[in-house]
Structure formats: structure tokens, C-alpha cells
Structure 1
Amino acid sequence: MNISIGIIDFLMLALVVQGLILAIVLAFSSGRIHSNRYIAAFIFVVAESTLLMELDYLGLVQKYPWLLTAVVPLNMALGPLVYLYARSLAFGAVTPRRKILIHFVPTVLYAKHQVIFILYVLGVLSVPLVSNLYVLPITQKILFGFNSLSLIPAFLSLVIYSLVTYNMVSGGINSEDLSAYRKADLKWIKMLVQIVFVLISIWFVSIVAGYLFPIPDLEPWFHYCLYIPAIVFVYWLGMMVYKRQRIMSRDEMQEYIKQPVKTHFKDDEASDYYDQLKKLMIADNLYMNPVLKVDMLAARLSIPEKGLSNLLNQYVGKNFNDFVNEFRVEEAKRKLIDPRYGNFTIAAIALECGFNSLATFQRVFKQITGVTPSQYQTNAKKSFVEK
């Protein structure tokens, strides 16, 4: 059998290879950010599914039947990976391994070739009763036949998990208990799930079209319409996640991955300490110190470092970086519209307000205000002119 590869198949295989490599790189570079491992697995599953589709339509599965046993379709894992990624990224939740594995048990539904191979090796298929059942046409059709309806379990799994994820994210965006980082992550996840819904819609159309028009020449195109945008999406997704991971500073990384701190203050004690903390920050402009750390601020309050972290998490609902950066952003907002700083660049203003770099300043400023520093400055000037 001669294998002919068209330009579309060649480009898709190239994207598949890049997607698999990107998934591996992202998984090994994620460090302690467990959420990135879920998205790496998601990229891997989409790339693997695209590869299996290509192997089928290029005739390689027919030429090398052992491929069916060597590769397990993982479509049922797509939905759980979307949910676990969102949960881990948005809330920093570390799910016990046993509970994680439960989500992936249904994946065995698509491991029929592997199950058949194991039964063959164990000699179960040679048992007369099993053998007679195995050779029935209806059994062979169920086990080895393929049509669009066979994708329905994976499709429904992705739909259900995506809806649950979207509902969880939408409910969390307005929560006052989350830090600015977490809220930014929720908006990021919400956008990703919306894109997944678009892909689900395309998938639904391809399933219906494949069922209504079972024409061999058209069947590959039904799949191309789904897999091309899907593989492009996960390639873009991998690059964006890797980029987001790389631009985080060391301090931000530590603040980002740490687990929630247990609370120890009563409400009246927390309120008193918080009032002292705000007065101290405003009176001495401590936030303008670019190397301000938790221990330095705790020493000024005469409480342990852990006590300050507890105070911020319990009473303020923010981590240390978010708390300090809000003061810095407010100071930056004043300086951006102050004529006395008209000759200052945005980078200079960032340094004046205690930020270590322009990139960090721009990212934090947009997370808190919703606009970039330059947009805020432009909008303020327009508002002043209109008045």
C-alpha cells in the first residue's frame, strides 16, 4: 500500500509534532505550577487525537494494524483536563491523586483494542463461549466499526465538564476573597472555555454531518474542519501558557504557588492590626520600597511574619504582593496624570512607585485597573480636555 500525503495532511502532522513537543516541554518546565501540567496533558491529548485521525485517513492503520493496540485514544480525558486545569489554576486547589484518577476512569471506553489484546494474550478469546460471541457480526461492528456516533461519549464528557467549569469560573470572578492574580486567571480560563465551546459547536456539526452524509470522500473533510482549528488552538494555548509562566518573577512564583494560609486572628484583632498596617503603609510610603518583603513589614508591626500573612489572607483577602501592589498602582495613577511628572516615561514612573520592572508594572496595572498605564494616561487627558 502506497501512502500519499497531501499538503493539508503534511501541515497537520507538522502541527501535531510541534504540539507533542510543546506539551512535553511545558510539562517538564512547569515546576511546581501543577495547573500547567493539566494544560500540557490537554495539548497532548488533542495532538494525539489529531495524529490518530491522520494515521487512519492516510491508510497507516490499515497497513500497520498494531497501531490500534499501541495507541490509546484519550478523547474522554479532554473534559476532566479542562476542569482540573481551571480548578487548579484559579483556586490553587491540590486535588488528591485518587480523586484525580476517578475523572479519567471513563477513558477506558476507548481502549477497546487494548482490552481485546490483553484478552487474547490471556487466552480468554479462545474460550468457546467468548469466541462465539466475539465472531458475531454485530460484535465485530461494535468493536471495530467506526461512525460519528462512536464519538458521542467523548463529546458529552467535554460538554458537561466545560459547562461545570464555566459555571465555576463565572461564579468566582466576582468573589472578593480572591487575589488579583486569581481573578486574572479566572478571566483567562473563561476566555479559554469560550473557545472550547466554539470547538464543541464545530465538533457537533461534524458528528451530525458525518451521520447524515456518510460519504467516504466527504468524511475526511468533516474531521479536518474540527481538527485543524483544534490543533491550531492548542498550539497557541501552549505558547501562551509557556509565555505566562516565563514572565513571572521569582517572588511572584512563590506567592502564586503557595497554599492558603490558615487563619489565627479574631475579627476585632484583625481589624486593629489592619488599621495599623494601612496607616503605616500610607504614612511612611513603605510600598515605594522595591525590595519590601513580608518580614520587613511584619517587623514594623511587631508581629511574626506568619502573623502578617495570616492577617492579609484572613481579613484583607489578598496576598502580600497584591496588597502592596494596590498601593503602588494608586500612586502610579496619581503620577501618570500629575503635570509635574509630564516628562517622566512610564518606566520611570513604575520605578518611582516601587516596581522592579516595566513588564511587571504593566501587567499588575492592567490586572487592577483593566487598562494599560498608557491607556489610563490617555483617557485621563481626554477627560481633562473635555471638561
Structure 2
Amino acid sequence: MNTVFTIGIFLCFFLQFLLLTKKKAPTSDRILAVWMFVIGLHLFSYYLYYLGFWEKYPHMSGIHHPFPLLHGPFLYLYVLFSMKSDQRFHWKNYLHFGPAALFYIYMIPFFFFYSAEEKLMVNHGELDDYTAFIIFSLFAFFASGIGYAIASYRLLGWYEDLRNQNFAYKESIDLSWLKYFIWGIGMIFLISGIVVMLEWGLGVHFGFNTDLVLYVPLVGFILFLGYSGIRHRNVFADGTSQIQQIVEPKPSGEYLRSGLKAELAQQYHGKLIALMNTKKPYLEPKLSLGNLADELGITANHLSQIINQYEDKNFFDFVNTYRVEEFKQRVADPDNSNYSILAIALDSGFNSKSSFNQVFKKITGKTPTQYVSDA
């Protein structure tokens, strides 16, 4: 077990160093770096408790107690700033750390006014001054971890809509790996909460230190998050962001107040279809809503409205429908018989094999291989 903690602590501080030395690191990387540092401190302080240092040095006890309240906010803010074009950290973002700060304020008497003997008595349950607070803390820890995991997952769902509304490709802006991490964090807090409730509430004895249910899996997720986070480039702002117009998903009812009259919208829709059929902008693998809006001479918001209203699709599906049709035409051309399916797909505007297979199956109900065989 000593090896597990040593590896986890080392990884935290090493990954923090790599993130802070990353060139043109966006706010999301800085948040992840601070989070790695906090996790490292958390593991280190608990490791000292695990080794029995609290018994030798009682004044060290309780230092890491509010730390579990920090992981949920860091997770949420990392996901949030991985998607935001505005990379400024506002004062409202600090409010997420308010509960942890309140916990430390409440523990000031314990830190500064309790003697070493009194702290030992609290740790052993012989002095019940903080018993109610500890029970409340446990519920707060698990509620915070699970709650922020749910909020972060919902935020990723919003991001999926945002991406599909603005981009006709998924490669290099995919945060699907983060879904697994969010699920993992949520499950760790959920399982830890169940174990603690069974142990404390029902008196179930598991025969091992149940704290390790939280700390051991955390070490594995440190490696996964650190590796993925270092490789990840911020979606909308990496220090040299080229994306100028980002349209947020809107309910269809909001288009009634957009200011774009029906006649003008129909005209632009006709121009859009003509542009797609003549210039074929969808052949550009990294086509964005902003790029296409510039071609038409309208705002990205109005173009998004036109596509959603007249095509009943988001931008991603709209563009890739044209790419699928382009692929069908090219694969039916005898001149292309010597080319592979992937080569024709890439020439049709797709950016990767995986994206092509997913989109083609979604639109046609068949895999590309099945379609070509049946043709």
C-alpha cells in the first residue's frame, strides 16, 4: 500500500509540473495543475495519517479533512474551461470553493485552541465536540462529489450540442474521454458513501480500512486524467484560437425573437443550398459554422437558425449529409474503382475513418462496406 501512495503522490506533483510548463497553457490546464497539486497534498496528508503520524504529532490531524470538498469543484471548472472561449477566471468561479473554506473556518478552534491531548481524544472519539460535524462532513463530501459529477456530465451534454452546432467534425475537439473520468469519480464517491453508511450507520465490519475505497482508485484516475489532460487541446481557446463565432444551442422558440424575417431567411436558405451544391464547401474537413457563414455573408447565429428551421438538423448533421451523398456519387464512379473506401471518404470531406463510419451508419443505416457491397 505504501507503494500505491508513493506513486500517486509523485504522479500528482510530476503532472502538475508538466502542465505548468506546457506552452501557451489555457486556463483549463492551469486548473488541472492546481487540482493535481491539491490531490497530491490530499494523498500526502492522508498517507501521514495512514502511517500513524497523527498519533505522534496530533497537531497535524484534521488538515486534510475538507479536501474532498475541493475535487468536485475542480472537476466542474476543468470541464467548463475546457469548452469556454472566454478563459478569464471570474470571481463567481471561486464560490465553488466556499464550502471547503467554511469547513476550515469552523475548524479554526480545533486547529489553534485544542491541545495535543484534546485532539487525540477527538480523533479517538473520546471527545464528541466535532462528532456531529464529522457526520455532516461525510454526507457533504459524498453529496459534493456526486453532485458535481452529475453537473459536469450535463455540461458535457451541452458541449456536445455546442460542438454539433458549430463544427462539421469531431476530431481534436473530442472530450469523450472525460465522460469516463466523470463516471469514475462519481462512482468512487457513490461507492465510498455506501460503504461509510453501511459501516457507520448499520455497524457493518468490512475487515479492512474503508478509506482505501476512496484513495486507491483515485491514484489510477490521477494517471488517466493527467495523461489525457496534458494531451488535450482546449476546444475554443488554446492561446491561438482561430474560431471567431461560436453559436450556443437555442430552443426553437427563441428563433421567433431573432430578428431574421421569414422572407430573408428563405432567401438565405436558397443561397445556402446553391453554395453547398456548387462550391461544395463541405469538402473542407474542418469546416465550421463561422466559415460557412462568412461565405454567405451572414452571421453564424442566423445561419444556425436557417439550418435548424429549414433543414431540421444541426450543423454537424447538415454538412455530413452532403459528405455522405458525395461519397455515394464518388464510389459509384468507375474511375474511382481503384481507390479504397477510406480514400474516397477522405476526398468527400471526412476527417477520419471512425468519424466516417459513425456518420455513414447513422445516416444510411448501413456500414460503408455493406453499402458498397450492395451497390
| TM-score, normalising length: structure 2 | 0.67
Residues 70 and 172 of structure 1: CA distance in aligned 2, closer, same or farther (over 3 Å): closer
Q: How many residue pairs align between the two structures?
A: 352
Deviation at 1:270, TM superposition (A): 3.7
- The aligned runs of 1:344-355 (5 Å cut-off) are 344-345=339-340, 348-349=343-344, 351-354=346-349
Name whichever of 95-104 and 105-114 sits farther off: 105-114
1:312 equivalent in alignment to 2:299: no
1:197 equivalent in alignment to 2:214: no
Deviation at 1:14, TM superposition (A): 0.8
- The aligned runs of 1:174-323 (5 Å cut-off) are 178-179=165-166, 190-211=179-200, 218=207, 220=209, 222-245=210-233, 254-255=242-243, 259-260=246-247, 265-288=260-283, 301=296, 303=297, 307-316=298-307
Deviation at 1:76, TM superposition (A): 0.7
Map of 2:2 onto structure 1? 9
Deviation at 1:312, TM superposition (A): 3.2
Whole-angstrom distance in 2 between the partners of 1:298 and 1:249:
20
Amino acid at match of 1:284: K
User: Which one scores higher on RCO, CA 8 angstroms, separation ≥ 6?
Assistant: 2
Map of 1:21 onto structure 2? 14
Deviation at 1:31, TM superposition (A): 4.5
Whole-angstrom distance in 2 between the partners of 1:349 and 1:298:
27
Whole-angstrom distance in 2 between the partners of 1:179 and 1:296:
10
Residues 334 and 199 of structure 1: CA distance in aligned 2, closer, same or farther (over 3 Å): farther
Map of 1:83 onto structure 2? 76
Amino acid at match of 2:221: F
| TM-score, normalising length: structure 1 | 0.66
Deviation at 1:365, TM superposition (A): 3.3
Map of 2:254 onto structure 1? none
Whole-angstrom distance in 2 between the partners of 1:57 and 1:251:
42
Unaligned runs of 5+ in 2: 249-257
Alignment partner of 1:162 out of 146, 149, 161: 149
Whole-angstrom distance in 2 between the partners of 1:188 and 1:281:
33
Deviation at 1:108, TM superposition (A): 1.9
8 Å contact kept, 2:26–2:239: no
Whole-angstrom distance in 2 between the partners of 1:363 and 1:33:
28
Map of 1:376 onto structure 2? 367
Unaligned runs of 5+ in 1: 1-7
Amino acid at match of 1:56: Y
Alignment partner of 1:343 out of 331, 338, 344: 338
Tell me the secondary structure at the aligned position of residue 140 of structure 2: helix
Residues 330 and 21 of structure 1: CA distance in aligned 2, closer, same or farther (over 3 Å): farther
Tell me the secondary structure at the aligned position of residue 111 of structure 1: helix
Whole-angstrom distance in 1 between the partners of 2:334 and 2:12:
50
Q: CA RMSD in A?
A: 5.2
Map of 1:5 onto structure 2? none
8 Å contact kept, 1:46–1:231: no
Deviation at 1:185, TM superposition (A): 5.5
8 Å contact kept, 1:264–1:310: no
Residues 290 and 205 of structure 1: CA distance in aligned 2, closer, same or farther (over 3 Å): closer
Whole-angstrom distance in 2 between the partners of 1:109 and 1:251:
35
Deviation at 1:15, TM superposition (A): 2.5
Whole-angstrom distance in 2 between the partners of 1:201 and 1:296:
44
8 Å contact kept, 2:58–2:120: no
Tell me the secondary structure at the aligned position of residue 245 of structure 1: coil
1:98 equivalent in alignment to 2:91: yes
